[in-house]
Amino acid sequence: MYLRVQDIHDILEKRAPSILKESYDNVGLMVGDMKCEVGSILVALDCTLEVIEEALRNNCNLIFTHHPLLFKRPYTITTDTLIGKKIIELIRNNINVYSSHTNLDSVKGGINDIIMEKLGLTNHDVIEPSRIKNYGENDCGIGRIASLTEPMTLARFCNEVKKCLNISSVRYSGNELKIINKVALINGSGQDYFDAAKALGADCVITGDTTYHYVSDFQEQGIAVIDAGHFGTEWPAMEIIANFLRHEIKVRGFENTVILSKVNKSPYKYK
C-alpha cells in the first residue's frame, strides 16, 4: 500500500477542515492528482521557484504550503508569467502542490494557536470567531487575544517576541515604557482585524504587513503595534506542521520522508 495525495488530503482535512477557510481563499490541491503516489514531501510557506527546485533536488513530488499557489485565478498559463512558469515546471516534473491557508490559521491548534503558544500565551480567546454553525464557534476563527501573566514594557515585550519567534528584528510603534497587559495576534497580514482587537481591549497588536496610516492611527489611540513580519509570524509554525505530518504518516504505517524547506525565507532583508 502506497501513500497517495488523497491520504495527505484526508490528514490535512482532519487537522484543518477546508470548511473553515475564509470566503476569499483557495485551499486544497493546487496542482496535481489525488490518486498520485507520494514519495517525499516538502513543507514550505510559499511555493517559490526556489522551493520547486529544492523539491526536485530532494526527490519530493508533493509540496505542502501554507500560502496557496493559486490564490487568484490565472487567465493564462504560459512561461510569460511567474505563476505560469511555476505551474508548467510542477506539471513537467510531476510535482503536486497542496495548500492549507486560512483554514489552518483559523482552526484550534492551527497557526494562530501555535504562535501564541510560542509566545507563552496559552490562555487565549478568538478575535473573530468562526461563522460556521456547529463547528468551532468558540475556539476557531481569525486572530487570538490574551492577557499577559506578567505585564511588561513594550520594549521588553518586543524583545520577547523576537526571542520566541527566533527573528532578529521587529518594527513597532508606541512608547517603549508603555505597560502591555493584553495582546492580540493575527498571524500574517492582520490589519483588517485591528478594530476588532481594539474592541476586545488589546493594548498591543502583533502581526505583519502593516502600513503607515493604520499604525499611525493606532499609535494616536495609545495602542502599540509590533510588526514581526508576515514570514516571521507564520514560519515558526511550519516546523510544527511538518512534525504533525511526520507523525500522522507514520501512524498510518507509511515511511515517507517529510522535509522542512531550507530555502524558503522572507523576501525582506535588513541592514
User: How much is the pLDDT for 1?
Assistant: 76
User: How much is the pLDDT for 237?
Assistant: 97
Triad 11, 242, 88: Cα angle to 5°: 80
CA Rg value for the chain: 19
User: How much is the pLDDT for 271?
Assistant: 80
Judged by DSSP in three states, 197 sits in helix
Q: Strand runs (DSSP E) across the chain, as ranges? A: 28-31, 40-44, 60-65, 96-99, 125-129, 141-153, 171-173, 179-189, 204-208, 224-227, 258-260
Q: State the Cα–Cα distance between residues 45 and 28, nearest whole angstrom.
A: 14
- Numbered residues of the known binding site: 66-67, 105, 230, 234
Element (H, E) at 156: helix 154-165
What is the pTM assigned to this prediction?
0.95
Judged by DSSP in three states, 41 sits in strand
User: How much is the pLDDT for 270?
Assistant: 85
Domains and CATH numbers, the chain: 5-104+235-258 (3.40.1390.30), 108-227 (3.40.1390.30)
- Numbered residues of the known binding site for a divalent metal cation: 66-67, 105, 230, 234
pLDDT tens digits in sequence order for the chain, 271 residues long: 789 999 999 999 999 999 999 999 999 999 999 999 999 999 999 999 999 999 999 999 999 999 999 998 888 999 999 999 999 999 999 999 999 999 999 999 999 999 999 999 989 999 999 988 877 777 999 999 999 999 999 999 999 999 999 999 999 999 999 999 999 999 999 999 999 999 999 999 999 999 999 999 999 999 999 999 999 999 999 999 999 999 999 999 999 999 999 999 999 998 8
